[in-house]
Amino acid sequence: MTALSDSLLERWITLAGADSEQIGAGIIGRYAEPHRRYHTQAHLAVMLTAIDELAEAATDVAAVRYAAFFHDAIYAVDRADNEERSADLARDVLESLGASVALVEEVVRLVVLTRGHDVEAGDANGAVLCDADLVVLGGTPEEYAAYAAAVRDEYRHVPDDLFRAGRASVLRHLADQPRLFRTASAFGRYEARARANLGAELVSLTTG
């Protein structure tokens, strides 16, 4: 165990209880799989910190935190159903822990929502989770470049032309949304810089 994984496990235990320590360690361990470069324990830690900062905007912040732990628990770069499989894992684990039906269904819904970050108006929990997942977009140009490079490294088996096309499609989907960040706090803090970062990467992908 590393200091980061220990810290994440403490957060899991605070959320789910000491009896769930072994389960939490297994979930957190998934984020240390060797093929991951961006979807790592560091990403999970950043998300949880962002959720702390946006907590007042959520209606069920516990559900949002659970969803963060599970949202990339299953991450295979050669599959298109990672979110659905992660949601299935969340359902199985939470049911085994005796969570309420309402909590299970909300966490499952939130995990699937991270596929496209298409948050509907009035979805407070979804807004907080997706904003936390996207804070990396609003980093400095250097931080964003490191993020983009890590994503490319995860897909290092994909030929450059195919990666560029796929990555550009993902970024355009985000950029076409009226706003990237749905909570007022995250919008004010990250929106403008995220738009600039997305625009610069799209130019690089399509003209580089």
Which DSSP string do the residues of 5-43 spell out, in sequence order? HHHHHHHHHHHH-GGGHHHHHHHHHHTT-TT-SSSSHHH
Q: Identify which of 152, 171, 174, 173 has the alpha carbon closest to the alpha carbon of residue 163.
A: 152
Cα angle: 107, vertex 46, 202; to 5 degrees: 95
Contact 70, 111 (CB under 8 A): yes
Question: How many Å apart are CA 38 and CA 58, to the nearest integer?
Answer: 26
pLDDT computed for residue 1 by the predictor? 73
**What pLDDT is recorded for position 208?**
62
User: For residue 41, how far is the Cα from the chain centroid?
Assistant: 11
In this prediction, residue 40 carries a pLDDT of 98
Is 0.85 topped by the overall pTM?
Answer: yes
Angle between helices 160-175 and 141-154 (to 10 degrees): 130
* Residue 158, pLDDT score: 95
Ramachandran angles phi, psi of 79, nearest 5°: -130, 155
Helix (H, G, I), strand (E, B) or coil at 207: helix
Question: Residue 30 has what pLDDT?
Answer: 98
Q: What is the pLDDT along the chain (208 residues), one digit of tens a residue?
A: 799 999 999 999 999 999 999 999 999 999 999 999 999 999 999 999 999 999 999 999 999 999 999 999 999 999 989 999 999 999 999 999 999 999 999 999 999 999 999 999 999 999 999 999 999 999 999 999 999 999 999 999 999 999 999 999 999 999 999 999 999 999 999 999 999 999 999 999 998 6
| One-letter amino acid for residue 147 of the chain | Y
Query: What's the CATH superfamily of 3-207?
Result: 3'5'-cyclic nucleotide phosphodiesterase, catalytic domain (1.10.1300.10)
